[in-house]
Amino acid sequence: MDKDQMQDFIAQRVAKELADNSVVNLGIGLPTRVANFVANDLTIHFQSENGFVGLGPAPDAENINPNIVNAGGQPVTILTGGAFFDSATSFGIIRGGHVDLTVLGALQVDELGNIANYMIPGKLVPGMGGAMDLLSGAKRVIVAMEHTAKGDKKILKKCTLPLTAAGVVNLIITEMGVIEVTPEGLVLKEVAPNYTAQQVQDATDAILIISEGL
């Protein structure tokens, strides 16, 4: 798979975690693709921290409205019944615990469910955006990311970058598999086609517990 196909593959798997009638926030980058793979029999209320609920799939090139963009500045659609509001209301929804699930990318995740996703020391930092609020306010957290970055492992025994939040990640989904964060450690629940459990472990710094149902 090329990078684009890989990100769609990850997003499609994340979409299987969505519960009917839930409020879901999608982080910038790869997570925004999840909205394109929602099952037809589900009603999902996608919320964007820049001020609306009712996000739909990405528009085609001929139907882009430059005034409707997500938190990453990408053109999006809004579904019938969607609503626009100010940032205070948007973050009131997030901080008030009304988001059932947030899907975010990450630079690093570790076996304790810690996540680092907003800065690399010494590099330009645009800001953490709404990540800290989402990670502390959402009821469930899924990290959707590529398993490694230029060969460097991203799923670690302990994060080395500044943390965005501690002990909040519930599930990690990459192009290689699905990993659940548990009190006992990281449990490998699924392995993607064309990979083996050993290959997933070799690409992971933390020790993976192999699920009995793998």
Catalytic residue, chosen from 17, 49, 111, 175, is: 49
Q: Rounded to an integer, what distance in angstroms lies between the CA atom of residue 25 and that of residue 55?
A: 9
Q: Is 49 a catalytic residue?
A: yes
Determine the distance from the C-alpha atom of residue 96 to the mean position of all C-alpha atoms in its chain, rounded to a whole number.
20
Distance (Å) of CA 54 to CA 42, 50, 61, 80, 81:
13, 12, 20, 8, 7
| β pairing state of 152-153 and 155-156 | unpaired
Among 185, 162, 161, 2, CA closest to 172? 185
User: Where in the sequence numbering do the catalytic residues fall?
Assistant: 49
